[in-house]
Amino acid sequence: MSFLSIKGAVKQFGGLRAVDGVSFTLKKGEIVGLLGPNGSGKTTLINLVSGALPATAGEIRLNGQRLTGLRRDRIARAGVARTFQLVRILPSLSLIENVKITAVFGHNAHWGRAAERVAREALEMVGLSDRAEAQAGDLTYIDQKRLELARALAAEPEILLLDEWLAGLNPTELSEGIDLIRKLHQGGLTILMVEHIIDAVRALCPRVVVMNSGQLIADEATDAALSDPSVITAYLGGEVDA
């Protein structure tokens, strides 16, 4: 049985089909890259899975539970957490307050000391535990991204949706970020990640699905996809270095 099942997903904005009949599945514990050029519909698809946008048509299920049509909070309770292309934190609150919120409203709905424990564990995972009481608005951009990931992890998700979380990192931070995502995956977390950094995709994802103009154009092993002429033409614009 598929863990995440997307069947015929459609999102239409007026005359534009941003997602046009997309279907694929993920197994539990799998990590899959979601690739495509800018404007191909990747983030819109993530928005459909997370409930940020309602689907025009199609069906999305997680572990057999239908997500299509549920409110965003119900989808979070079902075990879906995500990061965003543009970081979304609460700058007037401390780091620990930011993360406790998702521990309270996430998959397992912790309260009190349990929420505090889960939040501190999430901050530890992303390397921010020593700054738990600091103001979120005082963080650098990179640390804001770490905080947003901690918020997602504190929800204790069944599946984590990463929308270009590695973007904007310097080489050292990128290496650390890849190691962190690998550790999360090795811990059993199912991950669907939108990513443009091909080295990271190669390092982390045995399989990728590729979108172009709202449609799925490839769903195959990463090396095969990155040498697929249709993928090269649509996404990479030329030859991919081996």
> Residue 114 has what pLDDT?
86
Q: Is residue 17 part of a domain?
A: yes
Range with top average pLDDT, 53-62, 89-98, 162-171 = 53-62
199-236 pLDDT tens trace: 999 999 999 999 999 999 999 999 999 998 888 887 65
Q: Is residue 103 part of a domain?
A: yes
Q: Is residue 83 part of a domain?
A: yes
- The dihedral region occupied by 102, where left means phi > 0, alpha psi between -120 and 50, and beta the remainder, is alpha
Q: Is residue 241 part of a domain?
A: no
Q: Is residue 62 part of a domain?
A: yes
Q: Is residue 53 part of a domain?
A: no
For residue 147, give every residue at least 6 positions away whose Cβ sits within 8 Å of its Cβ, in sequence order, or none. Answer: 89, 95, 98, 99, 123, 126, 128, 136, 139
Q: Please state, in angstroms and rounded to a whole number, the distance separating the CA atoms of residues 24 and 216.
A: 9
User: What CATH number does residue 90 fall under?
Assistant: 3.40.50.300
Q: Is residue 178 part of a domain?
A: yes
Count structural domains, the chain.
1
Instruction: For residue 195, give its domain range.
Output: 4-39+58-236
Half-sphere exposure of residue 39: CA atoms within 13 angstroms, side-chain side: 3
Q: Is residue 131 part of a domain?
A: yes
> Residue 122 has what pLDDT?
94
For residue 230, give every residue at least 6 positions away whose Cβ sits within 8 Å of its Cβ, in sequence order, or none. Answer: 212, 217, 218
116-172 pLDDT tens trace: 899 999 999 998 999 999 999 999 888 999 999 999 999 999 999 999 999 988 899
